Amino acid sequence: GLENVISIRKKIGIRSLFNLLDPLINPSGAKVQVLGVYDPNLTEKMATVLKNLGIQRGLVVHGEETLDEISITGKTKVTEFKEDRVKSYVIEPEDFGMKRGRLVDIQGGTKEQNAKIILEILSDGGGARRDLTVINAAAAFVIAGSAKDFPEGIELANRSIHSGEALNKLRGLIEFTRTEGRFLRDHRQVEA
């Protein structure tokens, strides 16, 4: 239930809604990464840093207003790298048939509110927060090689939520942290 989501969030020390979902949707554990940065001028620099650290494929993103994740409130600058190619481009929610949201529509709240929001999204709830989750999940699918592009990634993310698979994975993660909590960071060190 809800209290489990809250306690897992505490244990892992999660900052944003999407970051909680990241381990659920990046299935490969391979050398791939989606990274958000707070400054659009850093996307290429960070792509180079990640490549030098041995990450083979990645997306570095900067979203208008949401900063360190893909935005549905405006444009997002994306720097994509794989093999030796690095390319930057801009995406907008409308490119994928999504309605542009407002910051107020996607803001989180207390741990309890965020846990409720996550359960609502994964229980197939609609709205701007779901769109935000889906488009960021799509990026993870693209870079993990599960989807060839954003539209396919969005379809995969929607299917994962709609089928209940994403919710089951969250339940599995909650169960794992209940039994294997000793392997997770002590939340007192990571709470902001």
Average pLDDT over residues 155-177: 88
pLDDT at residue 102 tops 60: yes
**Cα–Cα dist 79/99, whole Å:** 23
At residue 1, the pLDDT reads 61
Q: Which helix (H) or strand (E) holds 10?
A: helix 2-12
Handedness of CA 9, 1, 107, 66 (dihedral sign): positive
pTM of the model: 0.75
Helix (H, G, I), strand (E, B) or coil at 77: strand
